[in-house]
Amino acid sequence: MVIKGVIVDILNRRQFKGAIEILGEKISKIYEEDHDEKGFIVPGFIDAHVHIESSMLVPSQFAKIAVTHGTVATVSDPHEIANVLGLEGVKYMIEEGKKVPLKFFFGAPSCVPATTFETAGATINSDGIKELLSHKDIYYLAEMMNYPGVIFKDEDIHKKLQYAKEFNKKIDGHAPGVTGEDLKTYIEAGISTDHECFTTQEALEKLSLGMKILIREGSAAKNFNALSALIDYYYEHLMFCSDDKHPDDLLEGHINQLCARSVAQGEDIYKVLQMACINPVDHYNLNVGKLQVGDSADFVVLEDLKTFKTVKTYIEGELVFENNRINFTSDHPTILNNFSCSYKQPRDFDTLAYNSTSKVIVAKDGELITTKEVFSLPRNGHSLECDLENDILKIAVINRYKDAPISTGFIKNFGLKKGAIASSVAHDSHNIIAVGANPDDMCEAVNAIISEKGGIAVAEKGKIDLLPLPIGGIMSNKPCKEVAKKYSQLDKLAKNLGSKLTSPFMTLSFMGLLVIPSLKLSDLGLFDGEKFEFTPLHHP
C-alpha cells in the first residue's frame, strides 16, 4: 500500500511531497515524489495522560471518537475503575481496549484508594502493584498522587516505587503546588512527570529538576493558557494531555485541538508536533510509529497544519478512519459494577449546627483546586442552611459501597438558584457527590443515581433527568454520540438552574478529590488538603 501527501518530517524539521510504502503493519519505505495529492502526513497524536473513564465511555467507544481527531494512542491511567473494582477493573479496561485498533497503554494505578481519608470500592497495595507491573500490558506506574507518602517515606508507597524501578517502568507524578525540598525528595524517588502545574513558575521549577511537564487541557482543568509559553524553549521536555475529558468535549476534538491552538499563537509547528507525536513515544518507550522507515505505520493525514482537521487515520497500516467514516466495530461491553447503598431521605442531608459560622469550599471554574472561606450561615433549628443570595449551596458525599451517614458541607461558586445536581463520577473513590439549593432536590437526584447504580442527575421539584452509568457507576454502555447528547442536555439543565460554571458536572466530580488543595469533602468529612487532615466544618 502506498500513501501520498506532504510528508512532515518532525525530527529533521522539513516538509516534502512524497510517498509512504506500507508492508504489513510497518513502514517499508519513505521517498520524495512529485504528485498532486493533498493532505499533510504526520505521526499520529498521543494523549500522554488520560483517564478513559472520565469520558464516561468504555475504551472501545472512546477509540471510535479519538481516531476521528487523529489520535492513535493514549497513555491511560485506569485509576478510576480501579478505585471501584480494583485489579478486576484494570483488567477489564485492558481487555476492552484490545477490541479496537487504537493503542491503549495502561499503567498500574499507584494510589487505590487515593487516600485513607475516604471510602473506596477496592484497595491495591504494593503486592497488587507488583502483580500489575509484571503484566506485559502494563507500561508504567501511574500518577503517584500520594505525594506526602513519598516525601515522608511511607513504606508501602516506596515499595510500589521500587517495583516500578525493578520492572524498568516509568513513574508518573502528581504533585500540585509541591515545591522546594519536598519537590526534590519527590523527584529523587524516581518520579519523572507532572501534569498538575497551573503556573509557569511551578512548571519551571519542576523542569529545572528534570521532570517532564504535561500541558493539560481537560473538561475541568485547563492549563494550556498558563503553560503554553513554555513550548518555545522547553518543547523537548513537554507533552500534551487531556487527563479528564467529558464526551461532549471529546466529540469536538482531542490533542489535535492543542496543536491548533499552539500554532495559532505562533508556536513552531515542529516543536508542537514533537510534543504531540514524538515525546510520549520516547519517554514511555511506546510501540507507536514516528513516521520513520521500520516504524509501525501509525500516522494521520491532515487537511492542513492550522486546523489539524483529520482526513485519515492509520494504525499499524490499517485505515481506521476516512472522510467521517470509522472503519471498525466493537462488541457490546460487559457490565460490571460495585454499588450497594439504600435510598436516602431528605433529613439525611441535614447539617447539624454547633454555631452559625462555617468553613465553605470555594470552587474555581476551570481548576481542580479550591480555596476556603468562612461565612455565617442561616439556621433552621439545629441545621445549617444554604445562603442562595451569597451563592453558598450545600454539598454532600454519599458512600455508595455501603450504608453510612451522609457527609455534608457548603460550597460557593456553583451558582444554583434552585434544584440540585449529583454524580457517581466523583474522583477518586467515586462515591455519590451532590450540590443543591435544598435537601429535597438533593435527595431526589441522589436516589435517581442509586436506582440505576450509577449516573449523573439533575433534579428540581420532582422533575428528574438522568444519564445512567451502569459500568462501575462511571461509564456508559452506549456510543459516544448518545452519551454526549444526554450529557449536554444535563449540562444545559444545570445551567438553567443557575450554574455559571463552564462544566458543572466535571467541576462537581473533583470536589471530593482530597489530593488537590485546599478544601474538599469526602464521605468521611471535610478535608484540609494543605494540612492533609480532616478539619471541623464549624469555625471557632
Paired with 301 in beta bridges are 41, 312
Instruction: Compute the C-alpha angle 450/366/378, nearest 5°.
Output: 65
DSSP letters for 174-234: --TT--HHHHHHHHHTT--EE----SHHHHHHHHHTT-EEEEEB-SS-B-HHHHGGGHHHH
- Confidence grade of residue 464 (pLDDT, cut at 50, 70, 90): very high
Q: Quick one: which H or E segment has residue 8?
A: strand 2-9
Q: ω before 383 within 30° of 0 (cis)?
A: no
pLDDT of residue 221: 81
Measure the CA–CA gap between 208 and 252, rounded to whole angstroms: 35
In 3D space, the residue among 402, 299, 226 whose CA is nearest the CA of residue 41 turns out to be 299
pLDDT of residue 401: 98
pLDDT of residue 86: 97
pLDDT of residue 114: 85
- Kindly provide the residue ranges of all beta strands, DSSP E only, lying in 364-484, ordered along the sequence: 370-376, 379-380, 383-384, 392-398, 407-412, 420-423, 432-436, 455-460, 463-468
In 3D space, the residue among 177, 172, 220 whose CA is nearest the CA of residue 197 turns out to be 177
pLDDT of residue 311: 97
Measure the CA–CA gap between 198 and 184, rounded to whole angstroms: 19
DSSP letters for 125-169: -HHHHHHHHTSTTEEEEEEE--HHHHHTT-HHHHHHHHHHHHTT-
Using CA of residue 366, residue 367, residue 370, residue 371, what is the dihedral sign?
Answer: negative
Q: Could you count the other beta carbons within 10 Å of the beta carbon of residue 391?
A: 18
Measure the CA–CA gap between 373 and 392, rounded to whole angstroms: 11
Measure the CA–CA gap between 86 and 123, rounded to whole angstroms: 6
Measure the CA–CA gap between 51 and 513, rounded to whole angstroms: 15
With a cut of 90, say whether residue 320 has pLDDT above it: yes
The C-alpha cell at 319 is 485505515
Average pLDDT, the chain: 96
425-463: pLDDT as tens digits: 999 899 999 999 999 999 999 999 999 999 999 999 999
Buried b (16+ CB within 10 A) or exposed e, 180-194: eebbebbbebbbbbb
pTM over 0.85: yes
51-78: pLDDT as tens digits: 999 999 999 999 999 999 999 999 999 9
pLDDT of residue 222: 87
With a cut of 80, say whether residue 210 has pLDDT above it: yes
Angle between helices 200-208 and 180-188 (to 10 degrees): 50
Measure the CA–CA gap between 451 and 459, rounded to whole angstroms: 14
355-375: pLDDT as tens digits: 889 999 999 998 889 999 999
For residues 378-382, give the mean pLDDT.
88
Using CA of residue 10, residue 14, residue 19, residue 23, what is the dihedral sign?
Answer: negative
Residues 492, 486: contact at Cβ < 8 Å? no
Measure the CA–CA gap between 459 and 240, rounded to whole angstroms: 36
Per DSSP, 305 falls in state S
Measure the CA–CA gap between 247 and 270, rounded to whole angstroms: 29
With a cut of 80, say whether residue 481 has pLDDT above it: yes
Measure the CA–CA gap between 530 and 466, rounded to whole angstroms: 35
Residues 15, 42: contact at Cβ < 8 Å? no
DSSP letters for 236-253: GGEEEE-BS--HHHHHH-
With a cut of 80, say whether residue 278 has pLDDT above it: yes
pLDDT of residue 129: 97
235-260: pLDDT as tens digits: 999 999 999 998 999 999 999 999 99
Measure the CA–CA gap between 4 and 11, rounded to whole angstroms: 19
For residues 296-316, give the mean pLDDT.
98
pLDDT of residue 220: 75
With a cut of 80, say whether residue 354 has pLDDT above it: no
